[in-house]
Chains A and B, each alone.
Chain A
Amino acid sequence: MGKGDILVPGTANGASTLRRFPFAVAMILLVAFLLLVGCGGGGGGGGQGGGEDPIRIGVILPYSGVYAQLGQDITDGMNLYFEEQGMEIAGRSVELIQEDTEANPQVGVEAARTLIERDEVEIITGTVSSAVAYGVIDLISQDQIPFVISNATGNDVTRRGIPYVFRTSASSWQVSYPMGGWLVDNGVQNVYVSAPDYAAGQEQAGGFKEGLAAAGGNLVDEAYPPLGNSDYSTYLTNISQASPQAEWSFYAGTDAVSFVRQYAEAGLKESVPLYGSGYMVEADTIEGQGDAAVGIRTGLFYASGLDNPENTAFIENFQSQFDRDPSTYAVQGYDAAWLIGEALKATEGDTDPDALVEAMEGVEFQSPRGPLSLDENHNPIQNIYIREAREQNGRIENVVIDTIENVQDPGA
């Protein structure tokens, strides 16, 4: 068969048909199997246990791709809470059904729809990406299913004031705004800002610039590399040329590792101190960043070094259960599970959406992050800690050097 031939069926002579036939059978069996598992998966849930149905909670998080570590941390945080409860709340067993969202909003929405339609979940929680969250909010508003967001920081997620939407992480604004004022208070006036060019990057940078301007600071210049950029040399050269007093950045995951490493390698860390949003230097990135992270100061609502009894117990339990250190993401997951679990206790296992929403509004937290309550949009009111990455106990940890108390998102 030459190159130019049309690729069409119908070339089968006897021998190749024979060779192909078992494969055809195999393929039909495979497709049948896939159809079976693909469509029939929901049926399995009903059989277990006597008495009442389990409470089905849908978890939509990235379990593959760049943010898989975040998804795993949040899930483990949730599991920690539910296992403390013996996987049972108000006499009903709890079943967590996980679906992978990758980093793609379409996949995320499909995952949420599958959970709602196939598994008939009563509560949905998760989403690392804000784009996924926005898509899912449309779905759950139609079906009136409470949605507890355990990571996505898009400002509008809660500012829209949708009654079924709760959040146990923070808004982008909340994480970044306080640092603007804090820098000016500490004598840093002229700041260069950079963040990846996508919604969360723009929002985080926007919050910081707002805080900086409100305190009378000065924005030297700003740069927005594409999301998923791997070589930052150009941007670093520009920063170096502008010679600001400090650099403030927001990057997450892979981008955060690349940026922080290259920042240190370019020799900039000594001449232009690096500050940023806390997600830039977190448990998922520190290993890759190594020594390059040391000395960077970031703002976030949690730090592993926080000294309070809830945090001490949390870290100890998490370590004994999962054999590794918890991250901020694990705290977000733990608090999301707490919110769901305590509300279910209050409703005595009733999953009626409106009853659940009312119960969630009344939940009191005992969070490893310190004081935590929800505002009228169901977004947390919480402390923002200024943390410095330091090498101690043979590893790099975020140490709290200052606290900005009870930061609340300004709302719509």
Chain B
Amino acid sequence: MATQAESGRKTQSFVSVHAGTIAVLAGALLLAIVPLVGSRYYVSVFTQILILSIFALSLGFLMGFPKLISLGHAAFFGVGAYAAGIFATRVDPNVVLTLGVALALSLLLALVIGVLSLRSTGIYFLMITLALAQLVYVASQQWESLTGGTNGLVGIPRPELFGLLRFDRTTFFYLVLLLAVLSYLLFRTLVRSPFGRILIGIGSNEQRMRAIGYSPRSYKLTAFVVAGAVAGLSGALWAHFNGIVTPEDLHWSHSAEALIMVIAGGAGTLIGPMLGAALIWLLESALQSYTDRSTMITGIVFILFVFFARNGIAGIAQSAWERVRR
């Protein structure tokens, strides 16, 4: 059975090797026009979707390549969001600093959680990441002086850049777009690097990789930490965009949402999770304005996906593409 990684290794046309990158760049160009032609509502919608797609991408990297199914990813998102929010309200809303602090803290947390949880595998790994993330969630509720408790941290400003630029709705959108593309390229580079090959090897057969002499745990830990840091980055952007961070952002249901974005988008690809984020946003937020039964429709769509679109949106896109080529 051919994996994407294998098909990437075969010599194929430029287009099929770089299909994902081309699609992402084309999508980014299309999105870049949005503020010029759409209302401010569209700008907000796509800002939101892009931030969530960075979040889903980081988890998709973990789930698709080293096969680490985590149910605690929201902890990194939330800690990044709180870090950026607290830093922006109390110290300085400079974007380089707030994002830097968010990256650093979520990276650190990912290191701790990764060290503790990577001894377990499969469902046990899923559950221990859930447990550790829930501990962070409860901490965010209880540490009121820092986080504002259950009322959340409010009044987070949009960031600025060394006094040169104060981000408004539109410029902030471009910042998020840029970071989304950069995140994609980062993970793509990682996946195609020798490091990524080893991760894929660990994902498909850990025993074999160990037998060849690799130490799976340190590779998995590195992947886990990178993914956690990028999730923290998306959380920081979320905090600036929404102006509010609450413990709900760290709750396991937020982790589950990311998990679903990845599966519905197509695990094993990088572009799939990003598209999955858009789909879930549409199902959960947009549909809600029009029907009381949006949850049920969402459930039905998921089941249809499992039966008819086995590899999510990315799978649909790929088979459609193959059909066009033939």
Contacts and interface: CB of A to CB of B under 8 A. Distances in A.
Q: Are A and B in contact, CB atoms below 8 Å, in the complex?
A: yes
B33 interface: no
B13 to A, nearest CB: 15
Contact of A134 (B244, B268, B286): B244
B20 to A, nearest CB: 11
Given A10-B4, A35-B282, A154 B151 contact: yes
Given A9-B314, A38-B282, A199-B150, A17 B323 contact: yes
A106 B249 contact: yes
A21 B323 contact: yes
Contacts of B287: 34, 37-38
Interface string A196-235: 0111000000000000000000000000000100000000
A16 B272 CA distance: 20
A135 B242 contact: yes
Contacts of B242: 106, 109-110, 135
A343 B2 CA distance: 68
A138 B158 CA distance: 12
B286 A37 contact: yes
A113 B244 CA distance: 13
B185 interface: no
A233 to B, nearest CB: 22
Interface string B282-302: 110111111010010000010
Interface string B18-62: 000000000000000000001111101100100000000000000
Q: Dominant SS at the B interface? A: helix
B150 A20 contact: no
Nearest to B200: A6
Contacts of A100: 288
A41 B289 contact: yes
A134 B149 CA distance: 12
Interface in B1-22: 1-5, 7
A31 interface: yes
Contact of A27 (B40, B249, B288, B316): B316
Interface string A98-129: 01100011110110011001100000000000
Interface of A: 1, 4-12, 16-17, 19-21, 23-24, 27, 30-31, 34-35, 37-39, 41-42, 63-64, 99-100, 104-107, 109-110, 113-114, 117-118, 130-131, 134-135, 137-139, 154, 197-199, 227
